[in-house]
């Protein structure tokens, strides 16, 4: 039994898993109260260069080692990113060069998102997985086909 539990755990860690995302920083893409999403861990391990700008990634928070955050990749290593075009958190002309091995992430709901505008470029070693699909099913009718919309 222990072995089956370990094998399952390894599958969930390294291939893919289903998890619940909640929080206001990714509105309107992801809902506040919780969205069930499918995380894809293996494709970034096998092919790390397949990470593209605009992908949704799950990352371990740089400021809190126990927390995980889900944001969108805006800049890849070597890109020059404008930190905040609206000028609210930093001067609107400030640009940052994303160093080697780091990415720039940003939430979709800018006023309510703590992201790279606060803590700077994030090392790619902190990336956990990429979001693959969203699962939405009505709680009362579990036998009906549930919608899976792919990101």
Partner 1 sequence: MSNLRTPLKILPGCIYWFPTAFVLSYYFYNLKIISGRSMQPTLNPDSSSWRDVGLFNCYAIHTKLDFNRGDIVALCSPEDSNRVLVKRIIALPEDRVKTLPPYSEPEVVVPQGHAWVEGDEPFHSDDSNRFGPVSLALIESRLVAVVWPPSRFGHLSRPSQVERDTSTPSENSAYRMAMAELERQRWRSARVTSNQTSRTG
Q: Which residues bind partner 1 (CB under 8 A)?
A: 2-3, 6-7, 9-10, 48, 60-66, 99-102, 119, 123-127
Looking at the Cβ atoms of 35 and 129, the one nearer to partner 1 is 129
3-state secondary structure of 98: coil
- Alpha-carbon dihedral 137, 140, 141, 145, rounded to 10 degrees: 0
Catalytic residue among 19, 22, 25, 116: 25
> Min. distance of Cβ 28 from partner 1 in angstroms?
28
> Min. distance of Cβ 134 from partner 1 in angstroms?
25
Query: Distance (Å, rounded) from C-alpha 85 to C-alpha 73?
Result: 16
145: annotated active-site residue: no
Through-space distance between the first and last CA atoms of the chain, rounded to whole angstroms: 36
Looking at the Cβ atoms of 35 and 126, the one nearer to partner 1 is 126
Q: What is the DSSP pairing of strand 95-97 with strand 102-106?
A: unpaired
Looking at the Cβ atoms of 95 and 100, the one nearer to partner 1 is 100
Query: Distance (Å, rounded) from C-alpha 148 to C-alpha 36?
Result: 10
100: annotated active-site residue: no
Q: Could you list the active site residues?
A: 25, 71
């Amino acid at each position: 039994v222990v072995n089956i539990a370990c094998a399952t755990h390894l599958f969930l860690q390294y291939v893919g898993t289903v998890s619940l995302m909640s929080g206001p920083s990714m509105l309107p893409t992801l809902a506040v109260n919780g969205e069930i999403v499918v995380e894809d861990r293996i494709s970034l391990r096998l092919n790390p260069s397949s990470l593209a700008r605009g992908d949704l990634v799950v990352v371990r928070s740089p400021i809190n080692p126990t927390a995980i955050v889900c944001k969108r990749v805006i800049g890849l290593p070597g890109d020059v990113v404008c930190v905040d075009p609206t000028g609210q958190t930093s001067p609107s002309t400030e640009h940052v060069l994303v160093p080697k091995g780091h990415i720039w992430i940003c939430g979709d709901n800018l006023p309510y998102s703590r992201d790279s505008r606060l803590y700077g470029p994030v090392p790619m070693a902190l990336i956990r997985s990429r979001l693959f699909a969203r699962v939405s099913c009505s709680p009362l009718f579990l036998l009906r086909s549930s919608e899976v919309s792919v990101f």
